[in-house]
Each structure stands twice: as structure tokens, then as C-alpha cells.
Structure 1
Amino acid sequence: MKKSLIALSTLLMVGGTVSAQKVAFEEYTLNNGMHVILHQDNSAPVVITSVMYHVGSKDENPERTGFAHFFEHLLFEGTQNIGRGEWFKIVTGNGGTNNANTTDDRTYYYEIFPSNNLELGLWMESERLMHPVINQIGVDTQNEVVKEEKRLRVDNQPYGNLIAEIKKNMFTNHPYRWTTIGEMEHLDAATLEEFQAFNKKFYVPNNAVLVVAGQLDIAQTKIWIEKYFGSIPKGAPVTRQKFEEAPITQTIRARYEDPNIQIPMVAASYRTPSNKTRDSKVLDLISTLLSDGKSSRLYKKIVDDKKMALQIGAFNYSQEDYGMYIIYGLPMGENTPESLIKEVDEEIVRLQTELISEKEYQKLQNIFENQYVNSNASVEGIADNLATYYMLYGDVNLINTEIQVYRSITREEIRDVAKKYLNPNQRLILDYAPKSDKAQN
């Protein structure tokens, strides 16, 4: 699942400069269309087997939202050769851990084992792909699990519906307009045949990338991959409709009342381009400049100096087709959402009209150098990155070269991209308020 709002705003809170070695990998494609990426790392006796499927909430029927996330749970139910309830027992009984997560764009499953259990990990992931058991008891069981997850993480979580409300108001045509967890009534209404059809359409080898990373013998790994995955039939090509949104040309105003909060929040959200674009990378730098830590422009001005807010933050919510650049704040005392937005706008205008200082620019570069190193500091991080760069960017070697894009971004580009996307007539202003009877006096 997605990181919490607070975690999203602090993803880049690192400092200093370090260097990283190039990530070596080998990639090829099986006859059934499954892409394979291998990364050897003998620094520790562990290995990760992971499969990323190019299916997320954006691939769902608008009347059946939540399917992709539902499958994140459902495909742990069991297979023809792994009994119901046995998956986790096999993993833990062999010294491993496993997990899965879903976004709007993809679903990712992985196991981490001692390296002598690599063959087991490959067999289990091939079983998930080739022999899943999708029956009514599994659907009913996971339906209750997902409902409880939604209650805990969304419905009863303070500010838990923030992203949902932003998406609903930012997108009118694209499937990004609904949430990854979906609507429970859609899952309740779905038939077993609809779940089976979803699996048949998207869980096919030609819609997936297999990444094996860690302490492994390349030649032996290839033999096992062919043994367990090579015979899986290729599925029908996955075709996707292209959805486009009309430009936002005037401020969208929206309000949502959350019974779980007492302090109102205001959010300004701007629609941004695909994460494949250079502009998206520039917006990463902008969000860091504005709200990364207590020395950032917004925090220092609005929280520290003027004491107008309990918290201020910004993040670039980057995705495959579109993104959102979201700035949020919690007003303090007599300050209003409008007064916070006024202060934010002043900083954005400053960004649009003045070049950031050389000192600020170097600080940004240091932060992103550290982020790059940290993201590849573990075999799990490398496996996730390899899969993501292949699946969502179409270039695995970005794991080594993306940092060069950040290094090449100029102060002038930061100014120009802020001017291009961060204007009052191109945004949503969401008043995220306490339930009326809970509002502060």
C-alpha cells in the first residue's frame, strides 16, 4: 500500500554526499514474453525473487474498482500445489519473508530467502502465475481482509481520505480518479467469474517482469527460470485504452469533512506530467526545496518564523500517465486555510521569478545523490528498482543513469517548470475539514 502522507513528505530527508557503485544486471526475455532481470550480489547469503505485473487500479472497470489491490491479497490464498493457508508457512519455515504491494500502475510480489532456497522462491512465484486457485472461499475471505484494511488505513485514519478526495477532483476521465483500495460495494457485487477473468487477462507472463537479485549462480538460475517459467503459456496481449485529461484552466474548489480529525487541513494540488518526463524530475527537486525538512522554504517561513501552521509539506505524486504535485498544511490558531495558501503562493511566485541560490542548488544535489545511494543500498531496493524501471519507464539502466538527469537539471529549469505547472488557475484547492459538529470554535 501507499506510504502515509507524512512519510511521503519526508521521503527525501537525507543529507551529505556519497558515491555508489554501478548496479550490474543481465536481462533477457523468455519465449512466452516474460522479461527476466538478474542481479548478482554476493555480499550476503540472501536472494530475492520478485515478480511485477503491469496491472494496477488504472486497469480496472469503473464499476469494479479495487480489483488489482484485491489480487495482491487473493494470490496468497494458494495454488494447485500449495494448499490454502500454506503459503506463509512455507516461506517462514524456510527462513524467508514475503510481501506484496499495489499502486495505480502495477502490482509487485516478492520473497526473500537464504540463498540456498532460491529454487523454492522461483517455484512459488511460478505457482502463483500458473496455478492460482481462485474460488469463492478465497474471495470471501479476502473480501473481509480488504474491508478491515480499508477501515483501519482509510476510513478510521485521520486524514485518511486526503489522496482519494484529491484524485476524485483532479481527474474526470482517467482511471486515476479512483483509489487503489477501491469501493467495497464493487468488490461485494463482483462475481467469481469476474475475478477469474481479471486474473486470466493480466496475470500472464507477457505482462510481467521477473527479477532475481542477491547471492546467485547466474547459469543455474537461468536453468531454474526456464524450468519453472518457460512452459507457462503466453497470454493474450494486454491492450490499454489511452485516457487524456483536459488541461485545468481555472481553480477547482472542493471540500471534504472527515469525522476523524479536529484540525482542518488545506491542500493545493496541481496536475503534472508522467514520471517518464524530465519535468517530473524537476518537480521532485521543487518539492524538496519547498518542504524537505525544517530548513526548507515553506517550513522555515510558515511553521518556524510565522508560526502559522503545525505542519506544512509538499510532494510530487509521480505516476505512469500523470502525476500530482500536492502541497498541504495544517493551520494553527487563528490562521485560516486561505492565509496558508497565500503564504505558499508567495513562495511559488518567488520560485517562478527568481533563481534559487547556488547554495540551495548544491543542497538539492546532495540530497538526491544520497537518495540514489540509499535506494540501492539493499538487495530488496535494487530488485524493486530494476522491476520498476523496466515496467514503468521502459529502461532498466535508469537504475544507473537517472541520477545523471537530476544532476543535469539547472536552476533555470527549476524556475521555468514552477512557472509552467504551479499556477493558481491550474490547481485544486481542497478544504479538508473536521465534521461540522466537531469543528473548532
Structure 2
Amino acid sequence: MRKIILSFTFYAFFSLILYAQNIKFEEYELANGIHVILHQDHTAPVVTTGVMYHVGSKNEEVGRSGFAHFFEHLLFEGSPNIKRGEWSKIVSSNGGTNNANTTSDRTYYYETFPSNNLQLGLWMESERLRHPIINQIGVDTQREVVKEEKRLNMDSRPYGNLLTALQENLFTKHPYRWTTIGSMEDINQAQLSEFKDFFKKYYTTSNTTLVVAGDFDKDQATDWIHTYFGSIPKSTTPQSKFAQEDPITDPKESTYKDPNIQLPAYLFAYRVPGYRDKESYALSMLSNYLSGGKSSVLYKKLVDRDKKALEVAAINLGLEDYGIFAFFAIPMGMSTKDILKQDIDLEIKKLQTDLISDEDYKKLQNMIENQFVNKNANIQGIASSLATYHVLYGDTHLINQEIDIYRSITKENLREAAKKYLKPNQRVIINYLPEKK
């Protein structure tokens, strides 16, 4: 019986991988430039309507940070046909859920409804693009909402500004040097006309990708898409050019103070390629090898065995133009920054010198495949992935092919990525310290 159960579990897992690698979709462009992606799945009677705009915090002007994230909030204020405060009520009263999120590179809005409400989802998202209400009442209201979000998630949370410290120190020219939520001073000083100009510049048909995923009739969906989105006048977003960073050739060290912590943290960070680069895949695998779970190299050594760290992590944060590879450690007992750095450097040196074992490599591949399956395990995840691969990677087909890129990364590739990007002279060390009150 146990063999049967194990065989069934393996078969189910293998089937999931095969399914994840063969997500069928169609894509085309409307006459006005909106890119449309359709994925049908009749497994459950739900459908997700998602719209991704290729605008994030990197598109903001110096002195006006936080605009992209602010619009994530502002565009729930309504339209001439959706009263202020009614957006989420309409969604929930029709059995749906909705949300939005912003990164440095894009903004994404979505609704998931019972499949008989696809038309409602398409209409609502077209209202957001066609004629949202952007007025002083909405701006003033959302200013306070964003301020509270920043207070709760960053300024009042222990270690809440780790990403702020990383971006400020790894980037000096590129707009990745500020976080997505931006500066509250910038938001406070911005005028209503500036918000309207930002919408006009970036919420254009040429900058829009619409995804419909789930249980729907393709012909009917196509008609509704042409009705609600195809009739929006064509508009274009100018091509953005971003300042390039000079290579880091000398080590740098800085200090960031956090009044919400009692224990210091240390960051050892490197600027690496963006996620379109194949080497970024190797770096993601290295981060999983070093700290992906309690059986990982750094956790077993520094936390479990030697008790030198309370927490430790190696993270490869993918961005469109660059990436961030960072080690994070909170010391335990008598451990110091130098002790943690020495142990982390030792593991980096091993990666740069020796190939990982066959057993560790197989384990790493299994971990990556599991993450890949989980990312596309439901309709909302598939919709988000389809939009992301088109907008940020320039290739929607990666939803089926990306796992093959990971599988093609050899142990030698891992070693070369460590040698090329994790050099001591290319490192920024950040002492993230308690601020004495």
C-alpha cells in the first residue's frame, strides 16, 4: 500500500510539472496597441481578469518618488460609472476578490470572479484605463492611506527598511536607488496636475497588457474585450532610458539605523544582472542552495550547528535592469560582523572553487521545479505569470520554457556565476544597527 501511495504522489507531482510546462494560451494585439493574452482552464468555474502596466517606481522623476505605487491606490477611487468607494463593494457583492501590487518595474491590477462575471471584470478594468477619476479628494485620501502603509510596513516594523538600505547603497544613478513606496515628502509636495500627467504618460494602450485566465468562452470573451478595450483611443508611452550604474570595483561599507530593533543585522550585497540574463537564473539557484530551507548550507552551519546567527539568508532579488544578491545575517551570542562575514565568505569561496555535489545539485533542481509548479498552481498565479513574462521578460512562452532554462544550468555555470559576481571587491556591506532612543 505504501508503494502505491508513493507512486501516486510521484505521478501527481510529475503531472503537475507537465501541466505547468504546457499552459496553453493565445496572444494578440488590439488595433490600439493593447496586448491581450487568453488562457482557458475549465477545471473550476472562476476567471481572473488581470491588467499589467509597464510602469513602476523606476519611471518616477527625482523628487517625485512613490508615484507608481500611489497610483495603485488612486485608481481604486472610481470612474464616472463607478462611484467613489464602490469598487471593492461591487467586486465582493458579485462573489469576487480583487487586489493590486506595484514593483520597481510594473503595476498589476486583477479581479477574480465566478466565471459568469467575466464581463463585469473586463468592464471594471476598462473603466480604470479609460477614464478614472483623479481629483484632489482622491489624492488627499490616498496620501493618508499610503502614509499609514509606510508606517506599518516599514517605519514601525523591525528591519522594515532593509530594502531601503540595500537600494540606497547599491544604486547611485539608476532610479532603483529608491524603494517602490517612495518618499512621503515627495508625495506630499506633488500637485494634482502632476498625478494627472503621470497617468497620461504611462497608463497608455501601448503600455497595457490584458490577461484573461480561467473558465470562459473564448468567442464571447473576445467580443467583450473588443467592446470594452478595443474602443479605447490609441495612446503611446515614450521609450524610457535609465542611467547605467558604474561597476562596483572597490568594497563599500555604510551604516543604517533602525529604532525598532535591538539586535543588529549585517548585509553583504552585490549588484548582479537583471532577470532576463541567464546568469540571473544561476544566481537564483545559488541563493536556494545557500539558504533555501533549514537543510541549506548557511542555515545548517550558522544557525543550526554553530549557533552563530539567529537568522541568515541569501537572496537574489530580480529586477528588470539589474538584480540584487544579498546575504542577510542577525548575529547570535558573541558573534560579530567579522565572524559572520568570514563564514559566509568561506562558503562563497567553496562555490567559486569546487562544484557542488551531485546530490545537492539534484536537490536544488527539485526545489526549483517545486517552486515553478507552485507559482502556477492556480488561475491567479497563471494570469500573473503570463502578464509578467510578456511585460518584463519579453517572452510569454517562458511560462512553459523557463523551467528548461533552470534545468540547463550546470554545476559549472553555478561556479562561474559565483566567481564572476560574488567577489569581495564588488561588495557593499551594510551595518543595519539599532538606533538608541
TM-score tier, shorter chain, comes to: over 0.9
Q: What RMSD, in angstroms, separates the aligned Cα atoms of the two structures?
A: 0.9
Q: Which position in structure 1 is the counterpart of 2:259?
A: 259
Q: Which position in structure 1 is the counterpart of 2:48?
A: 48
Secondary structure of 2:377's partner?
coil
Q: Which position in structure 1 is the counterpart of 2:120?
A: 120
Q: Separation in 1 of the partners of 2:263 and 2:379?
A: 41
Contact 1:79 1:132 in 2 (8 A): yes
Counterpart of 1:20, as a letter, is: L
Q: Which position in structure 2 is the counterpart of 1:368?
A: 368
Q: Separation in 2 of the partners of 1:397 and 1:389?
A: 8
User: How far apart are residue 131 of structure 1 and its match?
Assistant: 1.2
Secondary structure of 1:19's partner?
helix
- 2:18 aligned with 1:20, yes or no? yes
TM-score (norm: length of structure 2):
0.95
Q: Separation in 2 of the partners of 1:119 and 1:337?
A: 57
Q: Separation in 1 of the partners of 2:377 and 2:218?
A: 21
Q: Which position in structure 1 is the counterpart of 2:323?
A: 323
User: How far apart are residue 237 of structure 1 and its match?
Assistant: 3.3
Q: Which position in structure 2 is the counterpart of 1:135?
A: 135
- 2:285 aligned with 1:274, yes or no? no
Q: Separation in 2 of the partners of 1:229 and 1:91?
A: 19
Q: Separation in 2 of the partners of 1:63 and 1:333?
A: 42
Q: Separation in 1 of the partners of 2:153 and 2:376?
A: 28
Matches within 5 A, 1:33-432: 33-432=33-432
Q: Separation in 2 of the partners of 1:236 and 1:354?
A: 50
Contact 1:205 1:234 in 2 (8 A): yes
User: How far apart are residue 382 of structure 1 and its match?
Assistant: 0.2
User: How far apart are residue 193 of structure 1 and its match?
Assistant: 0.3
Secondary structure of 1:20's partner?
helix
Secondary structure of 1:313's partner?
strand
Identity fraction in percent:
59
In the TM superposition, what whole-angstrom CA distance separates every residue of 1:221-258 from its partner, at most 9, and x where no partner exists? Answer: 00000000111111133220132100000111010111
Contact 1:207 1:238 in 2 (8 A): no
Counterpart of 1:44, as a letter, is: A
Counterpart of 2:225, as a letter, is: I
In the TM superposition, what whole-angstrom CA distance separates every residue of 1:316-351 from its partner, at most 9, and x where no partner exists? Answer: 000100000011001001111121011000000011
User: How far apart are residue 304 of structure 1 and its match?
Assistant: 1.4
Q: Separation in 2 of the partners of 1:94 and 1:149?
A: 28
Q: Separation in 2 of the partners of 1:226 and 1:214?
A: 19
Q: Which position in structure 2 is the counterpart of 1:7?
A: none
Paired positions, count: 422
Q: Which position in structure 1 is the counterpart of 2:433?
A: 433
Contact 1:20 1:373 in 2 (8 A): no
Contact 2:204 2:237 in 1 (8 A): no
User: How far apart are residue 45 of structure 1 and its match?
Assistant: 0.4
User: How far apart are residue 300 of structure 1 and its match?
Assistant: 0.9
TM-score (norm: length of structure 1):
0.95
Deviation beyond 6 Å, 4+ runs, structure 1? none
User: How far apart are residue 371 of structure 1 and its match?
Assistant: 1.1
Counterpart of 2:18, as a letter, is: A
Contact 2:205 2:236 in 1 (8 A): no
Contact 2:202 2:237 in 1 (8 A): no
